[in-house]
Every structure is written in structure tokens, then in C-alpha cells.
Amino acid sequence: EARNAQIRKKISTLEERIHKHDTQKEIKKKLAGVALSTSKVNYLDPRISVAWCKKFGDFALSKVFNKSLITKFKWAIEEADEDFRF
């Protein structure tokens, strides 16, 4: 009987993992055509993002921009301070 309980518990755990992976797969499939960073790069002045990072406790720019964007927007990083007004 104890062995059956262990097996049922293991099956339940595996079913939960399968459900979790199926959900993640669906989300990934739905977001496949969406470039989440496009607006930030193409439509938002990088000085606004830089100023926001500086204003709120030196928030790491690496959390907002990847390495290539940090290089590309070096001018914005140097120009904008926490009081930047657009």
C-alpha cells in the first residue's frame, strides 16, 4: 500500500511538470512573433531610460539594455543625468 502511494505521488508530480511545460510551450508559441524590445530601441529616446535608471538608485543599465545597446547608446549614457527632461 505504501508503495502504491509513492507511485501515485510520483505520477501526480510528473503530471504537474508536464502541465507546467505545456503552459510554457503555449506562452512561447504565442509570443514567438513579438519582439519585446523593439519599442524600447526604435521609439523611445534612450536618454529617458538612462535617466530613469540613474534617478531610481543607480538601477543597472544592463537590466534595461544589452551590451550592444549600451555601446550604441553610449552618447545617451554620457548625456543624460537623473534630472533629464525630454
How far apart, in whole angstroms, are the C-alpha atoms of residue 30 and residue 24?
Answer: 10
AA letter at 74: K
Catalytic residue flag (residue 43): yes
The residue among 30, 29, 49, 31 whose CA lies nearest residue 39 is 49
| Residue 50 identity | V
Q: Annotated catalytic residue: which of 34, 42, 43, 60?
A: 43
Residues involved in catalysis: 43
